[in-house]
Structure 1
Amino acid sequence: MGFAAKYVRVVDAVNYRIGRVMMYSLFIMFGVLLWSSISKTFFVPSLWTLEIAQFLLVAYYILGGPYSMQLGANVRMDLLYANWSAKKKAWFDAFTVLFLIFYLGVLLYGAIDSTTYSFEYNERSPTAWRPQLWPIKVVMCIGIFMMLLQAISELFKDIARIKGEDL
């Protein structure tokens, strides 16, 4: 379990730091939305505020997901799960995380394809502001990749729990 322990330690540390930064990025989004309200009321409405707020929310959600998974803050159906032993939970989690890993792999493949298209054709948003879309698509690729790494980390932790060890 030497490699697994090191992998878990590194991936958890990186996702923890990214998650903490993203947690405070909400304040940036609040500032953008506050400016949007002020500019619409007192000045000429800004074209960029709504889209920037949407991009920030995507980054918050995508990059904060691995941190949420790490903390166990993801949503579960606790009807049966809550009453199971730690070993039974680990077996169930180890089985179901394989579906998540497959899903994230497919999602990452599509995200990389979409990002490549965005770079090749200089894709822009169809709004009046027309920002380039590649920056948010790159953020999405990074976030999905980090979520994939975190899912593998959770698999290693579950396997260790099944063996009676703790990473």
Structure 2
Amino acid sequence: MRGMMHGFIRTVDAVNYRLGRIVMYGIFVMVGILLWSSVSKTFFLPSLWTLEMAQFAMVAYYMLGGPYSIQLGSNVRMDLFYHTWSDRRKAWFDAVTVLFLIFYLGVLLYGGWDSTAYSLQYGERSPTAWRPVMWPIKIIMMTGIFLMLLQALSEFCKDILRLRGESF
């Protein structure tokens, strides 16, 4: 069991680390899109696609970068008492609270599955003037939620190992 946990942690952390390192450059994609939006509005005809494409890029940036953020411990935490606790107490607290995150992500994944299937089946389009298909961004969102769920499970396994006094 311990070996499986270590393998799961290593695999999930490696995937999310590599993907997070790639996705972090997505900020430059957003800047480029918004820069083009400003230039086209000033010197040419305004582009219909720039605002929505920037929103899609931001969704991809946040959803695919979320697991990397959790892995690095950069997520926001109310640190009123936490910093004074022992490592064992922190592991207990983290193990309990990550269960809420796992439940939330499971509900999101369940709801997102139906929405993505609908989008693929019926060719759902955005109601804007540009009218892009919605399935690519929904698949990216589902991928991000799934990877975040795996990372939350990885963090739960790390907390269990910490409580047992083992390292990973």
Pairwise TM-score range, normalised by the shorter structure: over 0.9
The separation in 2 between residues aligned to 1:100 and 1:35, in whole angstroms, is 38
Matched residues in 1 for 2:14 and 2:72: separation? 12
CA drift at 1:22: 1.0
For residue 19 of structure 2, what is the aligned residue in structure 1? 18
Equivalent position of 1:88 in the other structure: 89
Aligned to 1:127: 128
Question: Are 1:42 and 2:43 matched, yes or no?
Answer: yes
Q: Report how far residue 42 of structure 1 moved.
A: 0.2
Show the counterpart of 1:54: 55
Q: Structure 1: how far apart are the matches of 2:141 and 2:26?
A: 16
Provide the residue aligned with 1:153 in structure 2. Answer: 154
Using the alignment, how far apart are the partners of 2:80 and 2:128 within structure 1? 45
- Mark the runs of 5 or more structure 1 residues left unpaired by the alignment: none
Aligned to 1:138: 139
Structure-2 separation of matches of 1:162 and 1:56: 39
Q: In the aligned structure 1, how far is the partner of 2:164 from the partner of 2:42?
A: 61
RMSD over aligned CA atoms reads 0.6
CA deviation after TM superposition for structure 1 residue 119, in Å: 1.1
Q: 4+ runs of 1 displaced by more than 6 Å?
A: none
State the Cα distance separating 1:122 from its structure 2 match.
1.0
Question: Can you give the 5+ residue segments of structure 2 that lack an aligned partner in the other structure?
Answer: none
DSSP 3-state at the match of 1:125: coil
Amino acid at match of 1:27: F
Instruction: Write out per-residue CA displacement over residues 142-161 of structure 1, whole angstroms, 9 at most, x where no aligned residue.
Output: 00000000000000000011
Taking structure 1 as the reference length, the TM-score comes to: 0.99
- Pairing 1:28–2:29 present: yes
Distance across 2 between alignment mates of 1:110 and 1:157: 28
SS of residue paired to 1:82: helix
Q: What SS does the corresponding residue of 1:53 show, helix, strand or coil?
A: helix
Number of the residue aligned with 2:70: 69
Match of 2:98?
Answer: 97
TM-score, normalised to structure 2, is 0.98
Q: Is 1:164–2:165 an aligned residue pair?
A: yes
Question: Where do 1:112-123 residues align within 5 Å?
Answer: 112-123=113-124
Q: How many angstroms does 1:47 deviate by?
A: 0.5
State the 1:120 CA deviation.
1.5
Q: CA deviation at 1:121?
A: 1.5
